[in-house]
Amino acid sequence: MEISVIGTGYVGLVTGVCLAHIGNKVTCIDIDEEKINTLKSGISPIYEEGLTELLQENINNGNLDFTSDYKEGLAGKKFVYIAVGTPQGEDGSADLTYIDKACESIAQHLEENTVIVTKSTVPVGTNEYIKGKIESNLINEVTIKIASNPEFLRQGSAVYDTFNGDRIVVGSDDEETLNLLEKINEGFKLPIVRTDLRSAEMIKYASNAFLATKISFINEMANLSEKIGANIDHVAKGMGMDKRIGNSFLNAGIGYGGSCFPKDTRAIISIGKKAQYDMPILENVVDANERQRDILVDKVLKKYKDISGKKVAVLGLAFKPNTDDMREAPSISVTNKLLANGAIVTAYDPVATDNAKEVLSSQVKFAKSIEDAIDGADIAMILTEWAEIKAYPLESYKNYMNQAVIFDGRNCHSLELAKESGAVYHSIGRPSMND
Ligand code: UDX
């Protein structure tokens, strides 16, 4: 099939490359010329495992190309995927500025009857809005059909997820359009859910909201476990073996972050408000997550009362491992709270330092290694479960710190090893060691 993909951000680029890889002729369009030139030369502006290889392979075999010119990019295409960003607007709802711009540009240049497929996460009803917006700006006499095809990719494993996800959702109110989309997606060899437009839009929000709920739920259980002397590792294992609950997304910690869960949970609450329906569960999921980000600093403050002038090493800054993404990372509020209480903060992250410098307070110092960060520190706090940080032995902290006192916000170490190490070790939802 002949496909264009609008937007070469993380969703658009992965979608375009993978659609080309299953045999479609794909042109990716982006208004950022510099990015287009980089992509044309086979270089990916984002790091995703396996993406560069597929990018180069499909440029070379002629299935994939890039342009910043809408006219050129849309010529001869029967399908146009919209994959532009929908950031969080001021009132918590999704900001549709980029969708609007994409619709106007598509309408100016469409020359054929086309199916518009929305990949971006958009509020329920937006696909109908997109159809109206394009139709009212069309220059040529063409007809458009509209479909929703939400993505469920995780950052860091987006290519893997595209070929190994649990399902593909295609939504349209037109049977013929659904058949065409099903045909395109057959190449991914995954179960396909066919549904109407609004249900497809809703599936994306409901899925992310449910996963966020699972995280806030296990965090609440962890906080209680700690108070009553239980161990959340055992609680989560025992719960997760019940297939109705499932064992994934039951890792307690200092809350979820990233570009999706915080934005999508607030957006679905805002969709509810517009529909005059309160969503008490999700409102509390969001509040609980905000509180969870403070839980580790609160433990530090409880132990020390005053941390003014204390040297704190912060290990891990990205919102999760294997990404340099700092969006909604718990490390932002943690470092702010440490600084507000007078602590001297030195941070280390294997890859997110450049992005962290843009969003963290200028008072945060940056270290080049774990040793560099903990050297002379009074307290070490683990905020992201990077493999390197997990593998760093607890016994080694005492070689650099004044006294090895570790607050682990991601439960990176087993309590047995923590005990043996002799370090003072606090974690989430588990008894403290050597305190
Ligand atoms: C998520 C969804 O998984 C994906 O389907 C959607 O398309 C986009 O949002 P992503 O943001 O890349 O993907 O990250 P994910 O790996 O799902 O983790 C999200 C956050 O939840 C991270 O901050 C992570 O630390 C946290 N998390 C995850 C937990 O705190 N505990 C868990 O058990 C799992």
User: Catalytic site residue 260?
Assistant: yes
Q: Which tens digits make up the pLDDT trace of 370-411?
A: 999 999 999 999 999 999 999 999 999 999 998 999 999 999
326 and 417 fall within a common domain:
yes
| pLDDT of residue 92 exceeding 90 | no
269 and 385 fall within a common domain:
no
319 and 213 fall within a common domain:
no
- Pocket residues: Cβ below 6 A from ligand 1: 151-155, 208, 215, 249-251, 253, 256-258, 260-261, 319-320
Which atom of ligand 1 is found nearest the CA of 154?
12
Q: Which tens digits make up the pLDDT trace of 105-123?
A: 999 999 989 999 999 988 8
Contact 274, 222 (CB under 8 A): no
What gap in Å lies between CA 330 and CA 347, rounded to an integer?
Answer: 13
Strand ranges (DSSP E) for 68-210?
79-82, 114-118, 144-148, 168-171, 192-195
| pLDDT of residue 93 exceeding 90 | no
72 and 40 fall within a common domain:
yes
Catalytic residue (choose from 18, 28, 103, 260) = 260
| pLDDT of residue 71 exceeding 90 | yes
For residue 36, CA distances in Å to 119, 232, 284 come to 20, 47, 42
Query: What torsion do the CA atoms of 1, 183, 192, 272 make, to the nearest 10 degrees?
Result: 60
* Full residue range of the structural domain in which residue 361 is found: 293-426
Tell me if 277 is assigned to some domain: yes
Please tell me the pTM assigned to this model: 0.94
Q: Which tens digits make up the pLDDT trace of 206-265?
A: 999 999 999 999 999 999 999 999 999 999 999 999 999 999 999 999 999 998 999 999
Q: What is the CATH number of the domain that holds 388?
A: 3.40.50.720
CA 79 to ligand 1 centroid distance, Å? 30
- Whose tokens are 């549904």? That residue is 195
274 and 394 fall within a common domain:
no
> Sheet of 424-426: strands edge to edge?
365-366, 344-348, 311-315, 379-382, 405-408, 424-426
Tell me if 434 is assigned to some domain: no
Q: Which amino acid is at 6?
A: I
> Mean pLDDT of all residues in the chain?
96
Q: Which tens digits make up the pLDDT trace of 185-220?
A: 999 999 999 999 999 999 999 999 999 999 999 999
CA 249 to ligand 1 centroid distance, Å? 8
Tell me if 332 is assigned to some domain: yes
For residue 353, CA distances in Å to 29, 350, 412 come to 30, 7, 21
Q: Which tens digits make up the pLDDT trace of 306-341?
A: 999 999 999 999 999 999 999 999 999 999 999 999
Out of 15, 149, 213, 260, mutate this one to test ligand 1's pocket (max ligand atoms within 8 Å of CB): namely 260
159 CA to centre of own chain: 14
Quick one: CA dihedral 224, 230, 236, 241, positive or negative?
negative
CA 18 to ligand 1 centroid distance, Å? 22
Out of 244, 272, 291, a domain closes at 291
Out of 291, 317, 347, a domain closes at 291
What is the length of the chain?
435
305 and 166 fall within a common domain:
no
What gap in Å lies between CA 216 and CA 289, rounded to an integer?
Answer: 6
What gap in Å lies between CA 96 and CA 139, rounded to an integer?
Answer: 22
CA 138 to ligand 1 centroid distance, Å? 39
Q: Which two tokens stand for residue 332?
A: 């932002």
Tell me if 373 is assigned to some domain: yes
230 and 276 fall within a common domain:
yes
Count the domains in the chain. 3
Q: Say if strands 79-82 and 2-6 run parallel, antiparallel, or are unpaired.
A: parallel
Tell me if 431 is assigned to some domain: no
What gap in Å lies between CA 201 and CA 147, rounded to an integer?
Answer: 10
Contact 215, 254 (CB under 8 A): no
- Taking alpha carbons only, the member of 361, 350, 415, 356 closest to residue 385 is 350
221 and 157 fall within a common domain:
no
Out of 266, 291, 316, a domain closes at 291
Quick one: CA dihedral 241, 245, 249, 255, positive or negative?
negative
Give the whole-number percent of the chain exceeding pLDDT 90. 94
